[in-house]
Amino acid sequence: MRLSREDATRIFPSANLPPTDLSIEALMVDTDGQNSAERDSHAKQQETSWTDESYPTPRYSSQAEQHPRNENASIFPDLTTMDMRQTVGTSTAHLSDWINDNIIAVRYGAMATIGLLTAYGLSQTPLFFRYRSVAELPNWLFAKRRSITCRLMPQSHRQILHPNQPIRLYLRHLSPAERILLAISKSTYEKVLSWHPWNTLPLETLSVSSTDQSAPTARQLEALEVEIAGIQAAPEHLALREAPGEWLARLCRDRTTVSLQLIARRVMDQGDDTNEQRLGTASRIGMRKSKRDIPELDFSSSKTTQSQIAIGRLYYRPKLAQFQSTDVGLSLVRYGRATPVSDGLWKTLLDSHVVVESNKDESAQEAAKQSSRDATYASQLSQAEYEAAAGSYGMWTDAEIRKNRADIVDEAEFQTTAPVWKKAWRWIRRR
**301-337 burial by CB neighbour count: b if 16+ within 10 A, else e?**
beeeebbbbbbbbbbbeeeeeeeeeebbbbbbbbbbb
DSSP H/E element including 300: none
Distance CA 96, CA 114 (A): 21
Per domain, the residue ranges of the chain are: 5-40, 101-130, 134-366
pLDDT of residue 9: 65
Q: Per-residue pLDDT for 53 more than 80?
A: no
Give me the torsion for CA of 184, 189, 190, 192, rounded to 10°: 150
Least confident of 264-273, 279-288, 292-301, 371-380: 279-288
Contact 203, 369 (CB under 8 A): no
pLDDT of residue 217: 59
pLDDT confidence band for 285 (50 / 70 / 90): very low
pLDDT of residue 206: 34
Nearest to 304 by CA among 139, 143, 134: 134
DSSP structure class, residue 65? B
Contact 167, 232 (CB under 8 A): yes
Instruction: List CB contacts of 364: < 8 A, sequence separation 6 or more.
Output: none
363 CB neighbour count, 10 Å cutoff: 9
pLDDT above 90 covers a percentage of the chain that reads 9
pLDDT of residue 346: 64
Instruction: Go through the chain and tell me how many residues it has.
Output: 431
Higher pLDDT, 78 or 382: 382
pLDDT of residue 294: 37
Q: What is the CATH number of domain 134-366?
A: 2.40.50.90
Q: Per-residue pLDDT for 32 more than 70?
A: no
pLDDT of residue 64: 47
pLDDT confidence band for 282 (50 / 70 / 90): very low
Name the E strands within 240-364.
Answer: 257-267, 308-316, 326-327, 338-340, 353-355
Name the E strands within 68-215.
Answer: 147-152, 168-173
pLDDT confidence band for 300 (50 / 70 / 90): very low
Contact 158, 220 (CB under 8 A): no
Which residues sit opposite 314 in a β-bridge? 260
pLDDT of residue 160: 59
Helices (H) and strands (E) in the chain, counts: 16, 9
Interval 117-137 mean pLDDT: 87
Higher pLDDT, 96 or 190: 96
Nearest to 307 by CA among 265, 261, 346, 345: 265
Name the E strands within 135-256.
Answer: 147-152, 168-173, 224-228, 231-233
Strand 308-316 and strand 224-228: pairing? parallel
- pLDDT tens-digit readout, 368-407: 888 888 889 988 998 899 888 888 888 888 888 888 888 8
pLDDT of residue 279: 38
Q: What average pLDDT does the chain have?
A: 72
pLDDT of residue 287: 36
Least confident of 128-142, 145-159, 258-272, 350-364: 350-364
pLDDT confidence band for 313 (50 / 70 / 90): very high
- One-letter identity of residue 238: L
pLDDT of residue 293: 39
**119-153 burial by CB neighbour count: b if 16+ within 10 A, else e?**
eeeeeeeeeeebbbbbbebebebbbebebbbbbbb
Which one of 87-101, 248-262, 320-334 scores highest in mean pLDDT?
Answer: 87-101
pLDDT above 70 covers a percentage of the chain that reads 57
Distance CA 387, CA 177 (A): 41
- pLDDT tens-digit readout, 154-196: 654 445 577 888 888 888 899 898 888 888 887 787 777 777 6
Q: Per-residue pLDDT for 31 more than 60?
A: no
Distance CA 114, CA 132 (A): 28
pLDDT of residue 242: 67
pLDDT confidence band for 259 (50 / 70 / 90): very high
